[in-house]
Amino acid sequence: MVRNLISPTVLLLAGIALTLLITDRIPPPANAMTAYGTEKKSLVTVPLDSGMEAVVSLDHTTGDMTGYVLNRLNGQFFIRYRHNVTSEFPQHGGAYLMATGMADFRGFKSNTRVATGVIYVSEESSGRVVAYAIPWNIQFAASGAPNQDLKFITLDQAVTRFTPLR
């Protein structure tokens, strides 16, 4: 009787172990990014590196995009990023949309190190989308230097609407 109970249990455990070895599936860490918007403002969070993120706001009326990073030592904002997106959207006539993503910039040709997070801003009437990088160096978090003012880096822009509006 005991022999019959052990055999199915051992077989089940062996099957689970074999499945794990064959698939080699380890769940990836969760990187949650948040985006929210109204008619006049958009707000997103974007990852900088492990354990650090920026909160970025876009004012639809002025085109001011502003980001802040919390200091992990004292919980106060210590880095501010700024950029006005109206230069990339000269005929702004609609609302902005903002989203975030991730990119591996190890081969990025620049003297400025950038975060793994990317900000995408699109303008509804033109259909244009612009990608922005965030200057980031792990030493920023370690130094705790107060009140650093940096600028977002415009990476590239693309057109997403190919049919003219009537």
Computed on alpha carbons and rounded to an integer, the radius of gyration of the chain in Å comes to 23
Where do runs of H (alpha helix) occur along 24-165? Answer: 138-143
Q: Note whether 45 and 115 are within 8 A (CB).
A: no
Retrieve residue 83's tokens: 């950029």
Q: What is the mean pLDDT of each run of 10 residues along the chain (166 residues)?
A: 59 65 54 78 89 91 92 85 90 83 76 86 88 85 72 92 71
Per-residue pLDDT at 94: 66
Per-residue pLDDT at 19: 62
The DSSP H or E segment spanning 18 is helix 2-23
Per-residue pLDDT at 120: 94
Q: Is 32 helix (H, G, I), strand (E, B) or coil?
A: coil
Nearest to 57 by CA among 46, 47, 43: 43
DSSP state letter for 82: E
Per-residue pLDDT at 32: 60
DSSP state letter for 164: -
Instruction: Count CA atoms within 13 Å of residue 65 on its CB side.
Output: 29
Nearest to 95 by CA among 63, 141, 72, 73: 63
